[in-house]
Structure 1
Amino acid sequence: MKKVITLIFVFAFISLAQSHEFWLQPSKYRYNVGETMTIDFKVGENFTGESWDMNRHKVEQVQLVHATGIKKMEGAVQKTKSKNLTTVLDKPGTYVIGLESNFAYLELEAEKFNEYLKEDGMENILELRKKENKLDKSSREFYKRYAKVMVQAGPVVDDTYKKRLGFRYEIMPLANPYTLKPGDYLDCRVLWENKPAPHTLVKVWNYVGNRTFLQNIYTENDGTIRFPISTSGPWMVSAVKMIPSESDGADYQSQWASLVFGITK
């Protein structure tokens, strides 16, 4: 049985100061073949985030994945407050769009950092700080984003959802969300360096009207979670992995993964 530890009801006006999810938000989730898709780069929570500051952050790669191949899209990214990526979905089927950012830098006071570790399930780093007598020390952190969104063009679904993007930290759906309807279940697998990530806290968000529901679920030994598709609308699955920094200039480095899709049936 999957380990669901909490189900939290969250109002959409939660303070963005405490929010840190990053996701790709499309103009919609189902398109006609030949329609134009736009994507906003968002940071925050509850699908009501603010625009990602592209003066502070950089995109390392963007991939547009379809059954017919992969298209590199970094050159199409716009440093605007909306419509950061625009493309025509000229072929039928499922598309996966993936973005990898560069490492950005963050400093936090000790108390805030410790709370952040608890909130996001990074007990390994909390235990390391205890062992090294650093619980009262501020933190220096490098962090990177790996974000994916899935959309559908036309009625015919395919196996594009199975394609790995090669991210160091990646969330893989084990079924095509565009075959699902409310009442079904979806399994996902969290991968760290292409291997299953067991006992990882995963957050599953779904937005209904002006309210968001959040499920906190720990992965099984095989890196998988299962959750019910309770409603139609947008969904996000997210997780974070933190390790001691592999580079000078910070104490830790974190990798954030997200997967967004829409249930439209």
Structure 2
Amino acid sequence: MDSYFLKPNQEATLSLYNGTFENSENIITRDRMLDASLVAQGKRTAIDPSNWKDQDSIITQLTFKTGEAGTYVAGVSTKARNIELTAEKFNSYLKNDGVLDMLQKRTTDSLLNEDAVESYQKHVKAIYQVGDVKTNDWNTVLGYPIEFVPQENPYDKYNGDTLEVQLLLDGKPLPNQLVFADFIKNSHGHTHDDESNEHEHDGQKHSHEHSTNTHKHAQEEKEHSHTSGQQLRTDAKGIVTVKLPEEGVYYLRTINMTRATDSDELTHRSKWATLTFEVSHAHGANSHTHEHDTESEIPTWLFVLGSFIIIGILVLIFRKKDN
């Protein structure tokens, strides 16, 4: 979103980026969506596929109107698709996308020369705040094959805090999973205007194109890493503690990959999960503006009265000196 802080009954746009957090390579076709939902006020509503629109053939967008104040959740889950990759491209993809455990296993098992046929699926989630009222919808489990679930409301957090997030695989806590967390620093202060997505991350353009059968894993001229930011591992309860050092839009991502030992066609299966939300500063926590509390300032009438008193005292002093 341009901003994850919205007003009640405001028109807003949700954009699906099929690539990286900052650059989209292709649209998400409707037939790929197993689920697309909005959660608010304790109710989960399916998004009508016809409400999605494509922009410039690279971004899939949903324009909608918020309702009552509260903490909202949006989620999209896609079907699995297969992709064939040469050993070299597969190894590069594992390295650049942070699937380091599988890369280590291939190295240990002397499988670096083995080509791959991967079945992949993506499950994405965003949490945004409407108005000042916080609701408990933030902890809704959408039931996706892999899913991030915050253990606290992200909008009760501010820069300098930490946030615990649990990772579920098939509904159960996933331990010892590598998770990457990063953020895009706000360039628009606290007005939450339309500039929030206009950033570059190290000036790099990445490609994870999944909406066609080309699946561009690390096939650009230069290798780029998607492993910037915090590198975390889930504990025994599937929980990571994410640091929130600055204001900005935060995103978590992980790829859980296993060997497909039960298939003659596939060599690997992967499940991708992301979570996005925005963090603001603690000053004026509910307003997200720079407006100061008028109760803490000197009232105008008192300032004027005090000025007249001071002037009167000065006049008396000077008259006394003249006498």
Please say if residues 91 and 103 of structure 2, whose CA atoms lie closer than 8 Å, have aligned partners that are also in contact. Answer: no
How far apart, in 1, do the equivalents of 2:116 and 2:173 lie?
28
Counterpart mapping for 1:74-223 below 5 A: 74-81=48-55, 82=59, 84-119=61-96, 120-124=98-102, 126-127=104-105, 131=109, 134-208=111-185, 209=187, 210=199, 212=201, 214-223=229-238
Residue type at the aligned position of 2:152: A
What secondary structure sits across from 2:89 in the alignment? helix
How far apart, in 2, do the equivalents of 1:188 and 1:88 lie?
28
Q: State the Cα RMSD in Å.
A: 2.3
Higher strand share: 1
Aligned to 1:53: 27
Q: Percent identity?
A: 25
Please say if residues 99 and 257 of structure 2, whose CA atoms lie closer than 8 Å, have aligned partners that are also in contact. Answer: no
TM-score scaled by structure 1?
0.81
Gap change, CA 1:58 and 1:74, over 3 Å in 2? farther
Aligned to 1:242: 257
Deviation at residue 240 of structure 1 after TM alignment: 0.8
Please say if residues 146 and 169 of structure 1, whose CA atoms lie closer than 8 Å, have aligned partners that are also in contact. Answer: yes
Q: What does the per-residue CA deviation read over 1:122-158, in whole Å, with 9 as the maximum and x for residues that have no partner?
A: 4257526754x53212111111110000111110112
Name stretches of at least 5 consecutive residues in structure 1 with no aligned partner: 1-25
> Which shows bigger deviation, 103-112 or 142-151?
103-112
Deviation at residue 239 of structure 1 after TM alignment: 0.7
Please say if residues 122 and 241 of structure 1, whose CA atoms lie closer than 8 Å, have aligned partners that are also in contact. Answer: no
What secondary structure sits across from 1:112 in the alignment? helix
Deviation at residue 263 of structure 1 after TM alignment: 1.0
Residue type at the aligned position of 2:83: L
Deviation at residue 228 of structure 1 after TM alignment: 1.6
What secondary structure sits across from 1:171 in the alignment? strand
Is 2:53 the partner of 1:37?
Answer: no
Structure (1 or 2) with the larger CA radius of gyration: 2
Q: What does the per-residue CA deviation read over 1:63-109, in whole Å, with 9 as the maximum and x for residues that have no partner?
A: 10112300001424424024611211112101100000112232222
Q: What does the per-residue CA deviation read over 1:173-198, in whole Å, with 9 as the maximum and x for residues that have no partner?
A: 11111111111111111111111111
Q: What does the per-residue CA deviation read over 1:196-228, in whole Å, with 9 as the maximum and x for residues that have no partner?
A: 111111010101244656111111121111122
Q: Which of 42, 47, 71 lines up with 1:73 in the alignment?
A: 47
Deviation at residue 249 of structure 1 after TM alignment: 3.8
How far apart, in 2, do the equivalents of 1:211 and 1:118 lie?
22
How far apart, in 1, do the equivalents of 2:7 and 2:30 lie?
35
How far apart, in 1, do the equivalents of 2:264 and 2:128 lie?
39
TM-score scaled by structure 2?
0.67
Please say if residues 187 and 225 of structure 1, whose CA atoms lie closer than 8 Å, have aligned partners that are also in contact. Answer: yes
Gap change, CA 1:190 and 1:219, over 3 Å in 2? same
What secondary structure sits across from 2:18 in the alignment? strand
Please say if residues 38 and 83 of structure 1, whose CA atoms lie closer than 8 Å, have aligned partners that are also in contact. Answer: no
How far apart, in 2, do the equivalents of 1:238 and 1:218 lie?
12
How far apart, in 2, do the equivalents of 1:77 and 1:142 lie?
28
Please say if residues 22 and 200 of structure 2, whose CA atoms lie closer than 8 Å, have aligned partners that are also in contact. Answer: no
Residue type at the aligned position of 2:155: Y
Name stretches of at least 5 consecutive residues in structure 2 with no aligned partner: 188-198, 202-227, 282-323
Deviation at residue 43 of structure 1 after TM alignment: 2.9
Please say if residues 124 and 274 of structure 2, whose CA atoms lie closer than 8 Å, have aligned partners that are also in contact. Answer: yes
What secondary structure sits across from 1:84 in the alignment? strand
Gap change, CA 1:41 and 1:248, over 3 Å in 2? farther
